[in-house]
Structure 1
Amino acid sequence: MTVFGRFGAVCRMVKIEHSVFALPFAYTGAFIAAGGWPGWYTMVVLTAAMVAVRSFAMAFNRLIDLPVDRANPRTQGRPLVTGEITPAQTWAFIGVMAAVFVAACAAMNPLCLKLAPVALFMSAVYSLFKRFTWACHFFLGAVLGLAPIAGYIAVTPEFTVPVILFFWGVLFWVAGFDILYSCQDEDFDRREGLHSVPARVGVRSALIVSSFCHVNTSVFFLMAGWAAGLSWPFFAVWGLVSLILLAEHKIISAEDMSRVNMAFFTMNGVVSVVVFAGVLLGIYM
Structure 2
Amino acid sequence: MSGPAPGATPDAVPRSLVERLPGRARPFARMARLDRPIGWWLLLLPCWWSEALAARLSGGWPNLLTLLLFLIGAVAMRGAGSTWNDITDRDLDARVARTRDRPLPSGQVTVREAFAFLVLQALVGLAVLLQFNAFAIAMGILSLAPVVVYPFMKRFTNHPQLVLGLAFAWGALMGFSAHLGTLPMAALWLYAGAIAWVVGYDTIYALQDIEDDAIVGIGSTARAYGARVRLFIAAMFVLTLLLVGIAMLEIGSGPLGWLGLAAFAGHLGWQVAILKRDDPVQALRLFRANRDAGLLLSGGLLLDAVLGRVL
Same fold (TM over 0.5): yes
Deviation track 1:43-80 (CA, whole Å, cap 9, x = no partner) reads: 44433333322221111011111111111112223233
Taking the aligned partners of 2:259 and 2:62, their CA distance within structure 1 comes to 24
Q: Which residue of the partner structure matches residue 247 of structure 1?
A: 270
Q: Which residue of the partner structure matches residue 145 of structure 1?
A: 169
Q: Which residue of the partner structure matches residue 247 of structure 2?
A: 224
Secondary structure of the residue aligned to 1:71 is coil
Secondary structure of the residue aligned to 2:169 is helix
Taking the aligned partners of 1:87 and 1:37, their CA distance within structure 2 comes to 45
Q: Which residue of the partner structure matches residue 207 of structure 1?
A: 230
**Please, what is the CA RMSD of the aligned residues?**
2.2
Are 2:190 and 1:166 equivalent residues in the alignment?
Answer: yes
Match of 2:107 among 60, 83, 91: 83
Worse-superposed segment, 13-22 or 59-68: 13-22
Q: Which residue of the partner structure matches residue 14 of structure 1?
A: 32
Q: Which residue of the partner structure matches residue 261 of structure 1?
A: 284
Give 1:105 deviation, angstroms.
Answer: 2.2
Taking the aligned partners of 1:190 and 1:107, their CA distance within structure 2 comes to 44
Q: Which residue of the partner structure matches residue 25 of structure 1?
A: 46
Conserved in 1, the CA contact under 8 Å of 2:256 and 2:304? yes
In structure 1, the gaps of 5 or more residues are none
Structure 1 runs (4+) deviating above 6 angstroms are none
Deviation track 1:139-184 (CA, whole Å, cap 9, x = no partner) reads: 1112111112112211221011222221111111110111122122
Q: Which residue of the partner structure matches residue 305 of structure 2?
A: 283
Give the % identical residues: 23
In structure 2, the CA distance between the partners of 1:99 and 1:198, relative to structure 1 (3 Å rule), is same
Worse-superposed segment, 38-47 or 95-104: 38-47
Taking the aligned partners of 1:223 and 1:7, their CA distance within structure 2 comes to 45
In structure 2, the CA distance between the partners of 1:59 and 1:89, relative to structure 1 (3 Å rule), is same
Deviation track 1:227-259 (CA, whole Å, cap 9, x = no partner) reads: 222211221221111111111112222354441
Conserved in 1, the CA contact under 8 Å of 2:263 and 2:297? no
In structure 2, the gaps of 5 or more residues are 1-18
Are 2:130 and 1:106 equivalent residues in the alignment?
Answer: yes
The count of aligned residue pairs is 283
Letter in 2 for 1:61: N
Mapping of 1:4-83 within 5 angstroms? 4-16=22-34, 17-18=37-38, 19-35=40-56, 36-83=60-107
Secondary structure of the residue aligned to 1:88 is helix
Conserved in 2, the CA contact under 8 Å of 1:218 and 1:238? yes
Are 2:292 and 1:270 equivalent residues in the alignment?
Answer: yes
Conserved in 2, the CA contact under 8 Å of 1:59 and 1:94? yes
TM-score (structure 2 length as normaliser): 0.83
TM-score (structure 1 length as normaliser): 0.90
Q: Which residue of the partner structure matches residue 218 of structure 2?
A: 194
